Amino acid sequence: MKILNVVGARPNFMKIAPLLREMRRYPAIQARLVHTGQHYDAEMSRVFFEELALPRPDVDLEVGSGTHAWQTAQVMLRFEPVLEEFQPDLVIVVGDVNSTLACALVAAKRLVPVAHVEAGLRSFDRTMPEEVNRLLTDAVADLLFTTAPEAAEHLQREGIPAERIFFVGNVMVDTLLQHRARAERSTIRRTLGIEGKPYALITLHRPSNVDDPDALGRLVEVLGQIGSALPVIFPAHPRTIKRLTEAGLADSVASRDVRLLEPLGYLDFVHLMSHARVVLTDSGGVQEETTVLGVPCLTLRANTERPVTITEGTNTLVGTDPERIVREVERVLQGKGKAGRVPALWDGQAAQRIVAVIARRFGLAPA
């Protein structure tokens, strides 16, 4: 059985790694990895591939940056010849980035079955490009693997038959649990001079937060207020750094007791997240990881496609109102942050369940 596995952006790497590892248990599976190059920073890709023990991609489409339409179109144009050459029995796409949708569409049009890992997540906000990607990918997928029970409800309301939906858990958690001990050995806190000290960790990359200079300026002001209480560590997405510079805010960040860093490797970031007093983010994956780590998380968005991190986990949706953000940080520092619990099937076995479903569907057996 020939399977094409698609990654395009760094969050995809954490999702595909446990799947590739599990597929190696099945002698009949010939797995190939396609990197679309949507995240094109060669150094950061190298770090993630090394830390997660990912094999070198069999194909790198080297698409790079561009508008959503241009990027999606380029991935489709470059992926189709790969599909023709490899003639896979299944294409696996993960997450909700442009590469996810682009490769799912190409496969569906060529009548190649598609499996979508992390299906059924919904923010119900179509101003988010990721929401459009999720909806359309799920519409053309043949196998839909979900991380939480409510995802199946969303899919069935959209007309997806129940027999194509499988609640398997969270592959991001598989990776987190596998590498947690290695991450604990990171020396990043010592390097930053914060070992043994409380600190806040922040990530920002959503267009709604970083593309509007006024919105970004308000968040920088909030970080300054938080920085007066404890150090703020800010590993910034390259796009975020660009927007801060364009808005004339980069120097302002540095003057407000905020440590603006280049993007970090996976192990260093997990280490910082594990030991943070509070995490502020607009990332979906960070909401999930902090829930498993038991670290209070404040999500700087009006909505989330991962409500289970709120109902069961450590996540609180705070939006972007400065007063509320500061108030919620103060609550956490007073010991009133959410403790939460780990959701069902977030146990490090999601990849095993996914590959087992695929194996049953295609009549395969493990070694």
Please say whether the beta carbons of 151 and 121 come within 8 A. Answer: yes
Task: Give the list of residues 6+ apart from residue 345 with CB closer than 8 angstroms, or none.
Answer: 147, 167, 168, 169, 170, 353
Q: What is the DSSP annotation of 233-274?
A: EEE--HHHHHHHHHTT-HHHHHTTTEEEEPPPPHHHHHHHHH
Question: What is the C-alpha to C-alpha distance for residues 228 and 226, in angstroms, rounded to an integer?
Answer: 5
Of 16, 179, 201, 202, whose CA–CA distance to 97 is shortest?
Answer: 16
Complete DSSP assignment for 92-116? EEESSSHHHHHHHHHHHHTT--EEE
Active site residues: 205
The answer to whether 188 touches 201, Cβ cutoff 8 Å, is no
Q: Cβ distance 143 to 166 under 8 Å?
A: yes
DSSP letter for 52, please.
T
List Cα–Cα distances, 334 to 293, 296, 314, 337, in angstroms: 19, 12, 15, 8
- Cβ 83 vs Cβ 111: under 8 Å: no
Nearest CA-CA partner of 236 in 221, 220, 218, 213: 220
Output the CA–CA distances (angstroms, integers) from residue 203 to 157, 206, 273, 284, in the order listed: 33, 10, 11, 11
For residue 354, give the nearest of 159, 147, 106 by alpha carbon: 147
The one-character DSSP state at 83 is H
